[in-house]
A and B are shown apart, each in its own frame.
Chain A
Amino acid sequence: MGAVKSPGRYMARPEWYDRNPASKCDQYQNTLSPHGQTVRLTYTVPAGKKAMVELLQADVFRRTVATTAAYPSSSWNLTPSGESIKYILLSTLTPEQNAIGDKDYRELGATLALFPGDKVEGITVDGGTGGTAMYYLSYKITEFDA
């Protein structure tokens, strides 16, 4: 049998979700004709904080048929502080998916830890001509003391 340890003189560090947590949640939804690449949502981790991404969603839904279909898409990318952009989640329709109601839906399959200065961005784009698509982007993040 090992020695009995005395009850804690030292306080264990609280778990991340108990370190002054704050929920950060937002969404973008709109039906759009073809358009250039546009950053609709951005979240950057402040200094002295970390963040846990609990949900990223990206959705694209054909509303009216395109004259020349391309790849309408909504996506999420991650830019670690001081590094280059990385695409991490892409929801897109192919040119063959040009019928009303064609859709694609993606969501983040794992929790993502972000560090000070890291940034996530939700983007929409459609390089086709004519027609419209509905785009949906959303996130839920818990920010906490680093």
Chain B
Amino acid sequence: MVKIRVKVTGKGIEGDPFRVNLPTYAWIAGSEEYADKAKKVLKSVVVEIPDDEVDEKGKLDPEKIRRKYRDHPVWSKFKG
């Protein structure tokens, strides 16, 4: 698993939870960066993702994700 900091999307409500736009990840507790801390609006977080979804420099590789989840309606079109 590789740790990377990524943008958090969503509104924190049912049907649109705060989340990371990746197929497989583990959220690292305490790594959150807030856009508005008083309102608890999240901006980014550190997550762990599988080794086979990053390039040799440890950066997210959209092509590897598209290939790994090639039949998936969303992840087969992943742009990073």
Contact = CB atoms under 8 A, between A and B. Distances in A.
Interface residues of B, number: 27
Contacts, number: 72
Interface string B12-49: 11100111101111110110000000001010000010
B72 interface: yes
- The interface size bin for chain A is 20 to 34
A4 to B, nearest CB: 44
Majority secondary structure, B binding face: loop
A43 B25 CA distance: 7
Interface in A13-37: 26-30, 35-37
Q: Would you list the 8 A-B pairs with minimal beta carbon distance, nearest first?
A: A36-B12, A44-B23, A30-B29, A37-B17, A39-B19, A38-B18, A40-B27, A26-B26
